[in-house]
A and B are shown apart, each in its own frame.
Chain A
Amino acid sequence: MVVENLQVTPLVEWLLGAGWSSGFLWQPLGTTLLLVLLVGGGLGLLFALRYSSAAPGPTTSLLMGGIFGVLSLMVLSTVALCSTLDTRNWLTDNIAMPLFAALVPVLGSNWSGGALYTWLGVATGLTGVVYACGWLATILVGGPLVGTRQCGRAAIDIVCDIARISARRVFALAWLAIRESIRRRVVVVFVVFVVLILFAALFIKKDSLHPGQLYIQVVLNFTVYLSMLFSLVLSALSLPADIRDRTLHTVVTKPVRKIEIVLGRVLGFVFVGTVLLGGIGVISYGFTVRSLNHTHQLTADRLHAESLPGNRGKLLRGTTSRSHEHEHAVMIDPSGEATVEIQKDHTHDLYVSASGDNPIYTLGPPKGLLQARVPIYAKTLSFLDKTGKPKEKGINVGDEWTYRSFIEGRTAAAAIWTFDGLREDLFPEAKFPTGIPVEMTLEVFRTHKGNQEKGVSGTIALSNPQTGKRAFLRNFLAQKFATDVQMIPRSFPTAGRDGKAETIDLFRDMVSDDGRLEITLQCLEPSQYFGMAQADLYLRAADGSFAWNFCKGYLGIWLQMALVTSLGVMFSTFLSGPVALLATMFVIIVGLSSSYVVELAGGKMVGGGPFESAVRIMTQDNMTSELEKSLKTDAIKAMDEATSVMMRYFSAVVPNIADNDFVDRVACGFNVGSDLLARCLLCELAYLLPVILLGYISLKQREVAQ
């Protein structure tokens, strides 16, 4: 199991673009002005709309409808121009680039890469397209004046409805949704989970090399599927059932705004989901911890003494008793210090409580099975080929999955991780007295068997990218996918350039002034290869609480559940129950595989788009050969181009549900950072707002009684 994309851009940088700090708006004065404008103006408008009961007159509606109409047509034209490469380039060169440049002093350099601006752009585009289509349709039906007035009135009504939301009504409707969920026996989900957990021990592999990962994955994945299922069923079927049973008639004839109905449903179902997830989470945590907790017996008769050379005393070696399908090799040196071998991702503390002929050995609970490592990843990973020339990637040993690159043993080939922003205060001496831990998980590709037990030897060295100073750290033995921990001492002796021994101070000599450090890895055995990716080597900066990290895993599931719930409610505002269910499922599937859809929309797939692929399947043509040039081929490619435009827009708006999946991260023992968590929460909000708004508009336009 691999956790990809571990690099997380700092939150503000991701939100506002890389050079945000240079923008006037994000200086103290600019931010203050923005806040005054948003809070003062926004709240003023909100209160004015909330407490004014007057409906907009025909002139106001006409005026606003006209303004919105013109603006939306501009947006629609822009979207249309973006559909083809030539017009998109023209638009970029003549309008977008000058606009970007003009806004740089205000928003900072590279502001266009900020997620906030992208969201605003997409939201504006969607709103514009929807309004323009609605406007044109009403003009066709009722004529320009009536159509414009109706659209203007509808737009004003939407703003007024949002401003006039009543918390009491929303909570009443949420309470109703909760009662409805209880009536629908939602508690069955909880029972199903408990039954699954009770029998989990029957199908969880006992001899797994990574039992911690396995148990966490099992419980979290159970939870993901169950939560998706119940939120999908509850949210997509509820509103259509109310419309079918006409219970909604009695509700909408009360002073209830349609947005309150949508909000109430979403909040109610999310509350039910939260309670269920809370209960399931507690059971899961207890199950995981209790299932993995174990110890071993170690008695004196399981140890044998080995005399150390030079009459330095006796070394005791042996193995612990077998428990949970494994045992640990134990070594106790003459001073009484014990080392327990790492097996299945964990070790144990060994306490010797009596001396002499009858020592009592006690092993503690497993250490390292359930952890939340806080890694610092390298900024870049670069390679040297076997002649020592820099390369972007290593070699491919024939894997279809190109996530890892390989370096050949006993050549100049090397992998170089460059860290950035390292400071001594990140690793205080009190916390890291012996040095800085470097953890690495390498793939070992053997072209000959060698000594399977021993592992393949490699070497690790440090260098300062500023001064070019290089220091050999040590050799090591690598087992395939075994996590190896190497300590970089704060100071260590090494051979200098002149051959004389010198003492290296890590932060003074090896880390550049701007905090960069290079760690170089080489394989030492001929015809053997090390495979690595950027995330395979990191500095272990701290350890978070596993329990809290487990909660974060559940928070990710909660985010997915909330998104599915709001999507289900949104679709159910204009579709019948089963169709809403299918539509939500479709979005979930696309959301879970959005990276594939983006790739498909980008035309990067071998074998062409959907139409070309279909033709290839029917004609049994292979994927890599070019299609024969003909009118038919041109038509197929044109259809694929049109599909790819639609898919591009579609993939831009479909939520990437997989982004909120922290299961692998938690299972692999990596801490879910606050930046990542905040980013996922903001992304969730960015989707929930338009989804709820869309649901409200659909329900508002719908004749409830028809």
Chain B
Amino acid sequence: MQSEVVIETRNLSKVYRDFWGRQKVRALKALDLEVRRGEVFGLLGPNGSGKTTTIKLLLGLLYPTSGQALVLGQDATEVAKNERIGYLPEESYLYRFLNAEETLDFYGRLFDIPRAKRRQRAADLIEMVGLTKSRRRQLREYSKGMTRLIGLAQALINDPEVLFLDEPTSGLDPIHTHEMKALIRKLQKQGKTILMCSHLLADVQDVCDRIAILHQGELKELGRVDALLKVRDVTEIRTSGLSLEAQEEIRQVVMKHQGTVHSIGNPTTTLEELFVRVIAESEAHPGRRVRAEQADRISSSEQG
């Protein structure tokens, strides 16, 4: 059974214009995307590919030129949807003259959370991100990693259903990166839907269920990470260059000799290799797009 779609873009396009209304750049071209409840969805692409624009459109920070962006069934420009979402911006755009407690208290007040509950929640989150000792220090004194952590805490202050994470591991040391990824997986287990974009492909590969690769404002690849990384035209066995019959024959041979076949299948590549290949193909054949339905079909058939 397909789970509920919580983030959806329909033919979403965005054109940036100058002061006189002339088109400067077409940042997003008819993007169709669906993110289902409980998924960790990664948005990948080189600089200027449209992934930040997509996130900003979904957050209502930008208005679409055409098409629709829906979050939790509501238009992305609706303020009401913000009650149920959390956002960790790329640079943790927080007020640097506040300390951690004040920051969380301030954002908690924006959610109309009662004082006692707000304080409890703030204390829990500060503890969760490991900033208890620095909770009274102004954010200007924080390192980049600490700022990311308090940024994540503010994104979780309302216990959101959907989380938008912009470069969640950027600026974090390996330990904190590991913790952040563990936290993302923990949040997923709690049933939260996460849409993240990152340049750190290894991190995306580690935590994302599905990814979309954008290039020049167009969707180039979409599907489950394991399916996309699977090299379908290569069968991985101990030996190479065998046909199915030969494989079956080998399997029969193995069984005949009371052996066990551990795996016969396709090997996987790395996300980095996939990313580079998709971008190279896109450069070579501009205009080719993956439609969401097609991608879903592919990913479903892979799962099936």
Mark A residues whose CB is within 8 Å of B: 53, 55, 161, 166, 168-169, 171-173, 175-176, 179-180, 183, 245-257, 703-706
Contact = CB atoms under 8 A, between A and B. Distances in A.
Contacts of A248: 93
Nearest to B17: A706
B109 A246 contact: no
Which 3 pairs across A and B sit closest by C-beta, in order of nearness?
A172-B109, A705-B61, A246-B93
Given A249-B93, A256-B79, 20 more contacts: A168-B109, A168-B112, A169-B109, A172-B110, A175-B106, A176-B95, A179-B98, A246-B89, A247-B94, A249-B61, A253-B61, A253-B82, A254-B158, A255-B80, A255-B82, A255-B110, A255-B112, A704-B61, A705-B56, A705-B62
B180 to A, nearest CB: 18
Interface in B89-113: 89, 91, 93-95, 97-98, 102, 106-107, 109-112
Contacts of A256: 79, 82, 110
B61 A703 contact: yes
B93 A245 contact: yes
A699 to B, nearest CB: 12
Interface in B73-94: 74-75, 78-80, 82-83, 85, 87, 89, 91, 93-94
B106 A252 contact: no
Contacts, number: 81
14 contacts: A55-B74, A166-B112, A168-B112, A169-B109, A247-B94, A250-B89, A250-B93, A253-B59, A254-B158, A256-B110, A704-B61, A705-B62, A706-B16, A706-B62
Given A253-B59, A253-B82, A706-B16, A176 B89 contact: no
A166 B112 CA distance: 8
A359 B279 CA distance: 108
A250 B94 contact: yes
Contacts of B89: 246, 249-250
A248 B109 CA distance: 15
A55 to B, nearest CB: 7
Interface centre among A55, A253, A256, A706 (most CB of B within 10 A): A253
A316 to B, nearest CB: 69
Interface of B: 16, 56, 59-63, 74-75, 78-80, 82-83, 85, 87, 89, 91, 93-95, 97-98, 102, 106-107, 109-112, 154, 158, 164
Given A172-B109, A252-B60, A703-B61, A257 B79 contact: yes
Contacts of B107: 250, 254
Contacts of B95: 176, 179-180, 247
B184 to A, nearest CB: 19
A173 B112 CA distance: 12
B93 A247 contact: yes
Contacts of B97: 179-180, 183
A238 to B, nearest CB: 12
A169 B61 contact: no
A56 to B, nearest CB: 11
B79 A255 contact: yes
**Chain A contact surface mostly:** helix
Nearest to B52: A705
Nearest to B110: A254
Contacts of B79: 161, 255-257
A687 B107 CA distance: 31
Contacts of A55: 74-75, 78, 80
Contacts of B91: 246
Nearest to A53: B80
Contacts of A250: 87, 89, 93-94, 107, 154
Nearest to B81: A255
A704 B82 CA distance: 15
B106 to A, nearest CB: 6
A245 B96 CA distance: 11
Contacts of A706: 16, 62
Nearest to A260: B110
Given A176-B95, A183-B97, A255-B79, A703 B63 contact: yes
Contacts of A166: 112
Contact of B112 (A169, A246, A252): A169
Contacts of B75: 55
Contacts of A179: 95, 97-98, 102
Nearest to A252: B61
A350 to B, nearest CB: 60
A253 to B, nearest CB: 4
A705 B55 CA distance: 11
Contacts of A169: 109-110, 112
A703 B62 contact: yes
Contacts of B60: 252-253
A168 B78 CA distance: 20
Nearest to B95: A247
Given A168-B112, A245-B93, A246-B89, A254 B61 contact: no
A246 B75 CA distance: 23
A640 B94 CA distance: 51
A176 B94 contact: no
A95 to B, nearest CB: 38
Contacts of B112: 166, 168-169, 255
Contacts of B111: 254-255
Contacts of B74: 55
Contacts of B87: 249-250, 253
A421 to B, nearest CB: 54
A446 to B, nearest CB: 65
B101 to A, nearest CB: 13
B145 to A, nearest CB: 18
Contacts of A53: 80
B116 to A, nearest CB: 13
A257 B77 CA distance: 11
A222 B195 CA distance: 55
A301 B102 CA distance: 72
Nearest to A54: B80
B301 to A, nearest CB: 36
A256 B111 CA distance: 8
A197 to B, nearest CB: 30
A194 B93 CA distance: 37
B257 to A, nearest CB: 63
A249 B89 CA distance: 8
Contacts of A168: 109, 112
Interface centre among B79, B93, B98 (most CB of A within 10 A): B79
Nearest to A183: B97
Contacts of B80: 53, 55, 255
